[in-house]
Chains A and B, each alone.
Chain A
Amino acid sequence: MTNVRRVARYTALVLITAVFVTPLVWMALTSLKTYDDAQQDPPSWLPSPFSTYGYDQILGNTANPVLRWFLNSMLAASLHTLLVLVTASMAAYALARLRFQGRKVSFALIVGTLFLPPTSLIIPNFVIADQLGWIDTLTVIVVPGAASAFGVFFLRQFFLSIPAELEEAAVLDGANHWQVFFQVLLPLSKPALATLAVLSFLTNWNDFLWPVYVLFSPERLTLPAGLGLLQGAYVTDYPVIMAGAVLASVPVLILFVLAQRHIIQGVSRSGLKG
């Protein structure tokens, strides 16, 4: 009986896994085909021969500087993540541990915006970024989204779970708040900081709507925004387009494999346990 159940379960799981993973495998294999190979009917799964055609086309391309887009995305997502970590951890420390006038109001306002669909802020944020002269710069990708209510909420909950006695001991030894924050609280919070870092990087790296509308110089685009142009230029040349898609996927997939536990825990915690 239990054996039958076990076999049934594994069969179901393997079939479902195939549905989830096959398209991604197909993407990677297609990026290694030649143009003609990708047009074959019936299609072959494996490229014959394996070819760097798709990657050659996009990496040496001056009209669509894919490598430049990749570096733009890397820089933007890294700076964005750093900005989120610094600002959110400092604010979360103040909200979790310090007493000051306006603490409750600030926290309520920050949490309140969690319930707002982010798209409802896009138009005014565009106008504000425009006033600041940030349109079509890297700054507009790095900064506006870094006002992360989720980050503050998430870190505050984590800080509250750390026993205050640890900090009090440091205070008795004569440490001030900055020393407590940097030398006691942050080192203890590495798992939470790593989770927030990974989630912030993923979100910024994958963002599509905002970069598509606020960037337009070909050399300033992020990779997701640039992929649209690539598709326009190589309408049915799928090895080229899939090579671009693979380049946009590899960093986040590597990050996912390395930090799987953190990402999945971060997601389940963000939904339920705060």
Chain B
Amino acid sequence: MADVIEVGAARGDAPPPAGRNRRRGATQRGHRATPYLFLAPYLVLFLVFGLAPIVFGVWISLHQWDLQLPNRPFIGLENYRDLFSSDSADYADWWSSVRATAIFTVLSVPLLVVVPLGLALLLNEKFPGRTFFRAAFFAPYVLGVAVIGLLWRFLLDANLGLVNRLLGAFGLPADTPWVTDVPWAWVSLVGVTVWWTCGFNAVIYLAGLQDIPAELYEAAKVDGASAWDRFRHVTLPGLRPVLLFVLTTTILASANVFGQSFLITQGAPGEQTRTVVWRIVDEGLRNYDVGQASAMSVLFALLLAVVSIVNFRLFRYRED
């Protein structure tokens, strides 16, 4: 991702030398305010709903800020301290949601990195019907989480659901509590998420696979490399930037899980599958304690930033 952006910025900053003078001439034709007029509509949106919230969120987190109360006293880091001191009311719920999110992320990320790679390899060669299969794998992803949540809540229902009835038809246990008990609830949440989103990662892998020069494979074949050797020594190194992108975006997406647990397990059993994002929005938008919720958001964003940085470091290190 960083590489992509650097390339883009470099291109923007260094227009082709031949065009440089002419372009400057072109710019002078317009009014000096013209560039700002072009930028203005987006910039207003961006400042109010993209940039201001970053600063404002930190500001709110330093206050005792209840949406229903007129007074919003500055309390420094108290909201943060509450999240780390076991005698505060928010402590147990917060760390339970962190635990739930961590479990979900640790279980889903490896599957969402590996399974789509398998799909992409299956689809990589040209053969009749390839477009159809690619579309079929991608189709669930275009549906919203509300739809897939309701659908799987129904399919995974312990009594009426298709999953248990099918298992029963094959003589397997037909009373698994898929959405109401652990570890089944985790299997359900992770399984549904893999079903829902792995087409997305597969498409990204496919684009990456197609950028690996065919000569490299031919050269490897000439050298007598087996299919496994070619995968290890040509495909994987060629996919390294793509793997980094997929890994990073998948960790971020998994850590932000909300709709699946909100709709499918509804937090059950107890509150064990209630995730961080759910905790944050409930604290802020249902209990109106936006100060505390902002502190949670800031902490969460920092944690994810650290994970992303570690990711980039690890991959760079391995490359050397």
B-contacting residues of A (Cβ < 8 Å)? 6, 9-10, 12-13, 16-17, 19-21, 23-24, 26-27, 30, 38-39, 41-43, 83, 86-88, 90-91, 93-100, 103-104, 106-111, 113, 115-128, 130, 143-147, 149, 152-153, 156-157, 160, 164-165, 167-168, 171, 176-178, 181, 202, 205-209, 213-214, 223-225, 227-228, 231, 236, 238, 241-242, 244-245, 248-249, 252-253, 255-257, 260, 263-264, 267-269, 271-274
15 contacts between A and B (CB under 8 A): A19-B195, A24-B140, A26-B162, A116-B54, A118-B256, A123-B285, A149-B50, A156-B8, A157-B8, A160-B12, A164-B19, A208-B144, A208-B258, A252-B144, A257-B135
Fill in one digit per residue for B65-92: 1 if any A CB lies within 8 Å of its CB, else 0. Answer: 0010000000000000000000000000
CB of A12 within 8 A of CB of B122, answer yes
CB of A119 within 8 A of CB of B280, answer yes
Task: Please tell me the size bucket of the interface on B.
Answer: 35 or more
Closest chain A CB from B139 CB (angstroms): 7
Also in contact, A256 and B139, with CB within 8 A (given A43-B165, A144-B49): yes
Question: Top 8 nearest A-B pairs by Cβ distance?
Answer: A206-B144, A268-B207, A224-B146, A91-B42, A124-B53, A100-B35, A120-B301, A94-B38
**In whole angstroms, how far apart are the Cα atoms of A73 and B304 in the complex?**
32
Residues from 157 to 193 in B contacting A, C-beta threshold 8 Å: 160, 162, 165, 169
Most chain A beta-carbon neighbours within 10 Å: one of B144, B153, B211, B301: B144
CB of B142 within 8 A of CB of A120, answer no
Fill in one digit per residue for B247-291: 1 if any A CB lies within 8 Å of its CB, else 0. Answer: 001001001101100010000000000000100110011100010
Q: Which of B150, B152, B285, B308 contacts A213 (CB 8 A)?
A: B285
What is the chain B residue whose CB lies nearest that of A100? B35
Closest chain B CB from A182 CB (angstroms): 11
Contacts of A125 on B, CB cut-off 8 Å?
Answer: 49, 53
A-contacting residues of B (Cβ < 8 Å)? 1, 4-5, 7-9, 11-13, 15-16, 19, 22-27, 29-30, 34-36, 38-39, 41-43, 45-46, 48-54, 56-57, 60, 67, 119, 122-123, 127, 129, 131, 133-140, 142-147, 150-155, 160, 162, 165, 169, 195, 199-200, 203-204, 206-208, 211, 241-242, 245-246, 249, 252, 255-256, 258-259, 263, 277, 280-281, 284-286, 290, 293-294, 297-298, 300-301, 304-305, 308
**In whole angstroms, how far apart are the Cα atoms of A146 and B293 in the complex?**
24
Also in contact, A252 and B38, with CB within 8 A (given A13-B133, A146-B45, A245-B150): no
CB of B56 within 8 A of CB of A127, answer yes
Contacts of B200 on A, CB cut-off 8 Å?
Answer: 267
CB of A177 within 8 A of CB of B38, answer yes
Contacts of A157 on B, CB cut-off 8 Å?
Answer: 8
CB of B195 within 8 A of CB of A23, answer yes
Contacts of B35 on A, CB cut-off 8 Å?
Answer: 94, 98-100, 103
What is the chain B residue whose CB lies nearest that of A129? B49
Closest chain A CB from B228 CB (angstroms): 15
Also in contact, A231 and B150, with CB within 8 A (given A107-B9, A120-B301): yes
**In whole angstroms, how far apart are the Cα atoms of A269 and B4 in the complex?**
11
CB of B203 within 8 A of CB of A117, answer no
CB of B259 within 8 A of CB of A208, answer yes
What is the chain B residue whose CB lies nearest that of A178? B34
CB of B169 within 8 A of CB of A98, answer no
**In whole angstroms, how far apart are the Cα atoms of A209 and B308 in the complex?**
24
Contacts of B26 on A, CB cut-off 8 Å?
Answer: 167-168, 171
**In whole angstroms, how far apart are the Cα atoms of A88 and B144 in the complex?**
24
CB of A149 within 8 A of CB of B46, answer yes
Q: Which of B207, B290, B294 contacts A272 (CB 8 A)?
A: B207
Contacts of A86 on B, CB cut-off 8 Å?
Answer: 41
